[in-house]
Structure 1
């Protein structure tokens, strides 16, 4: 049996579950994993037993960083007068390291300063964290964060999409748990998008370390990288588009500098969640240089039509642009 815990069942999730502080969404994740097999149920039961056992080890004044793990493990075993099988020994030793080395110290801090959750639905939201960092949260997104960061790091968890402006602190790195990946920064601004298919990081200023397991990529200003959930691969860093589509949800701005009309139309379709059709192949030769700021879709199409001498018609499903083309322009 594979005794390695899956990536989405994190140390923090186990601690919150055992201490009764997990959210409904976290409990559903853990319940789904537990119900997938008898082995998972048995593992969770044994972990819960060990959690109860380690309560005898922890004391409020313990220096957790200096704890002797082997001694702690022997104390746990001494409370379990059962000769463990290889399977159980392996599982419980994993649990001992998680719960004794990390969990107990984390729990004391966690109970003193419970996690907070900020969720957006149909609007964009903004949060200022206690270190001065600012997070803009896109629609249907969620950020989990502590009211007060630890002295070693600033750690949050994201689902959905957000833009981060991180207050620099070289002694306290800012870490984002994003799906199966981790983003680590010291002070910079960047966008993170997490969905069922991928995790994408786009850096506006500074440098970001994007990690999945043993894979890691550095992303600098004007670059992006993506982790694919399907292939479980982390892409190399690559240049972002100068059009501004990736940040349109936040800036409401698009900048075209000589892009061909088909590319302009594809960008507008994605930004405004609409469908636009070119009525003739000749229109593919047209290009456009213009900036749109907080414009309605109708205004944008009117500007394109006036600039390129086109006509606009509309059906229930889409807009249609027609004209003679731009070969004479």
Structure 2
């Protein structure tokens, strides 16, 4: 019986238990196991030892005491393997081979834990700029300026500008970007990616709104949304319908869209239809017009930090109209214009 056991290579047995044996070696081991009861018992003892103290399954998440497992393996290997009537040299040979195999697996498991840790951790610490009840302005690490409208948030990695310039936006912001040909400036929202080299522009992307707007004051930006790419130049604006996933044709940039930043309203021969639409948006009011001809009148003027009531006083004087403030809005009456 003892001769039967010495007719198998111990490294072949360990390779078989580790699942590393090829088809030919597997056949040799399985044939050897079936040749005698002593062979089978010897193999089963090695297998139990291997499973309890030597093997590590990298796909299992568990708290593992590596030192305890290693000591347990050595102690049991010393005690149990040498209980079998195998030559001393042969037992030592198998012990060292199994030790090496266990060490490789332990190292592999440690590498796996490190990989899992890196995979689950954020790529880098995030920096947040937030405007809640009031607007906020700040300077980014590359020197670019950003102004945030209320209820808006910009986030970026703490290593911003070292390898790339990328920010995420929720809400509305105006950017004045420092030019860098090698590092484009990228703004990401849920529905739009805006890429620039150096320019001034705004992005309005509130989750509560059905549209996203991008308007360019200076320079050129690239807007990517729902598979479409659009280049916008100075004085142009587009809107993206999130429901229809459609990008509009570029139209004229309206500086009044960033009143929240400039606190200035500018009208150049603007029909009162457009003036009233701007006032409703800026001041969150409702304007009722009793005579449609009023909407034909055209206004030219610049208003800095003016109240709606004062603006309507100017409109009344210019066009001989009457305004009545009521119910958080205004009602306008008069003959209007041709």
Q: What's the TM-score, normalizing by structure 1?
A: 0.62
Q: Of residues 218, 221, 229 in structure 1, which corresponds to 2:234?
A: 221
The list of structure 1 runs, each at least 4 consecutive aligned residues, that deviate by more than 6 angstroms after superposition, is 103-108
- Superposed, which structure 2 residues align to 1:229-248 within 5 Å? 229-241=242-254, 244-248=255-259
Q: What are structure 2's unaligned runs of at least 5 residues?
A: 1-57, 62-107, 110-114
Give the deviation of 1:104 after TM superposition.
6.3
Inter-CA distance 292–177: structure 2 relative to 1 (3 Å threshold): same
C-alpha separation in 2, matches of 1:217 and 1:182: 11
2: CA distance, partners of 1:231 / 1:324: 40
1:161 to 149, 172, 186: 172
Residues 150, 132 of structure 1: CA spacing in aligned structure 2 closer, same or farther, 3 A cutoff? closer
Aligned match for 1:284, one of 281, 295, 300: 295
Maintained 8 Å contact 1:178/1:199: no
Distance 2:198 2:128 in 1: 22
**2:202 paired residue among 170, 177, 191:** 191
TM-score (norm 2): 0.61
Cα RMSD between the aligned structures? 2.9
CA distance in 1: counterparts of 2:237 and 2:293, whole angstroms: 34
Q: Which has the higher helix share?
A: 2
How many aligned residue pairs are there? Answer: 228
2:268 to 249, 257, 270: 257
CA change 1:309–1:195 in 2 (3 A) is: same
Go from structure 1 to structure 2 and tell me whether the alpha carbon gap of 1:311 and 1:213 turns closer, same or farther (over 3 Å shift): closer
1:296 corresponds in structure 2 to 307
Q: Is the 8 A contact 1:151 1:172 kept in 2?
A: no
Does structure 1 residue 136 correspond to structure 2 residue 156?
no
Distance 2:312 2:236 in 1: 30
Q: Label 1:294 to 1:235 Cα distance change in 2 as closer, same or farther (>3 A).
A: same
Tell me, in whole angstroms, the C-alpha distance in 1 between the residues paired with 2:217 and 2:315: 29
Distance in 1 (CA, whole Å) between partners of 2:154 and 2:133 is 15
Cα 1:261–1:234 change in 2 (3 A) is closer
Equivalent position to 2:220, from 207, 210, 218: 207
| CA displacement at 1:190 relative to structure 2 | 0.7
